[in-house]
Amino acid sequence: MGDYADDDIVLHPAWRTASDPGDLVGKATVLARQDALLKSHRGTMVMDVESISANDSFGTVLGTIRTQYPQVAAIPFCGVWRFRNGRIVEHWENAYNAQDDVRKLTQGHE
């Protein structure tokens, strides 16, 4: 993602709520969060992509995130991306049951 993210990218994490959107702003912040999440799963996290649909402005990716650590989990997701001039400027993470699913992904690693 680092090659395509705009410097001012905005990430709307799956754990957001109406009262606390928890948005992350800036390429360095978004990439650091991504790296920390991957490292916390000790190399066991994979994304099984089922479909991709995109045009010049938006993209969606449907699939399942799978991990073996800190516990075995398979979480359906739909990522939505917004592009400007070929760069990622915004990304919405959407998990099937965000609060429970994110807890599975981050248990003991927050």
Please tell me the predicted confidence (pLDDT) of residue 82.
98
Q: 3-state class of 88 per DSSP?
A: strand
Report d(CA 90, CA 96) in Å as an integer. Answer: 20
Residue 109, pLDDT > 50, answer: no
Radius of gyration over every alpha carbon of the chain, rounded to an integer in angstroms: 14
pTM recorded for the entire structure: 0.81
Contact partners, residue 15, CB within 8 Å, separation at least 6: 22, 98, 99, 102
For residue 58, the one-letter residue type is F
Is residue 5 a contact partner of residue 87, using CB atoms and an 8 Å limit?
yes
- Give Dmax (Cα) for the chain: 39
Residues 19-77 have pLDDT tens digits of 776 899 999 999 998 998 889 889 899 999 999 999 999 999 999 999 998 888 888 99
For residue 44, the one-letter residue type is T
Report d(CA 110, CA 107) in Å as an integer. Answer: 7
